[in-house]
């Protein structure tokens, strides 16, 4: 979302009620927000929705009717549990592109473990020593960039179709 927003897309970030996205208070704080939050959420608008409740789900459905792209990174299957899976949402907006990011495609995961399983940590190791973490969340960053490429290709494909074009799902797994 950050990269798309940097290039001018209108991005609406949905945060849970209460304290919002945990990234707001992660590590070093400046003026009450984490520096990392300021970096990752720049150029975005935020809205609070409780997607576990019908009212929050209904607001998301209203947003989806007008959206080009929906990016989600819940545990696989969670959106379907809420009646917000791609098959449900494309009935509201057949042109919707939905990007789904998970650890392994069919199950959740965490960046550092996916980096190990994908072989990235092997590349940073030295003989006889434990693999070292790359200085940034490289697995998350690479997955996000591949997500952006997939989203842009899906939009291109959709908009190139002379008959009006349909959206599609872009599925990104951290370990890939």
Tell me, yes or no, if 68 is annotated catalytic: no
Q: Kindly name the residue from 6, 88, 140, 171 that is annotated as catalytic.
A: 140
Structure tokens at 78: 């969670």
Q: Find the DSSP H helices in 11-137.
A: 35-40, 54-66, 78-81, 86-92, 111-117, 120-124
Locus of tokens 């939009």: 155
Cβ–Cβ < 8 Å for 34, 42:
no
**Quick one: 102 exposed, middle or buried, by C-beta within 10 A (0-12, 13-18, 19+)?**
buried
Structure tokens at 104: 């392994």
Q: 30: which DSSP letter?
A: E
Q: 129: which DSSP letter?
A: S
Cα 1 to Cα 6: distance, rounded to the nearest angstrom: 8
The catalytic residue positions are: 140
């Amino acid at each position: 979302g950050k990269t798309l927003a940097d290039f001018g897309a209108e991005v609406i970030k949905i945060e849970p009620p209460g304290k919002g996205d945990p990234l707001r208070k992660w590590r070093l704080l400046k003026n009450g927000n984490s520096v990392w939050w300021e970096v990752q959420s720049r150029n975005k608008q935020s809205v609070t929705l409780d997607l576990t409740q019908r009212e929050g789900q209904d607001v998301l459905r209203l947003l989806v009717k007008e959206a080009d792209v929906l990016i989600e990174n819940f545990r696989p299957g969670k959106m379907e549990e809420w009646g917000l899976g791609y098959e449900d949402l494309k009935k509201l907006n057949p042109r919707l592109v939905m990007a789904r990011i998970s650890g392994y495609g069919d199950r959740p995961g965490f960046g550092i473990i996916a980096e190990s399983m994908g072989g990235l940590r092997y590349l940073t190791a030295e003989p006889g020593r434990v693999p070292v973490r790359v200085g940034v969340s490289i697995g998350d960053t690479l997955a996000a960039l591949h997500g952006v490429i997939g989203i842009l290709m899906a939009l291109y494909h959709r908009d190139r179709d002379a008959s009006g074009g349909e959206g599609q799902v872009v599925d990104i797994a951290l370990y890939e």
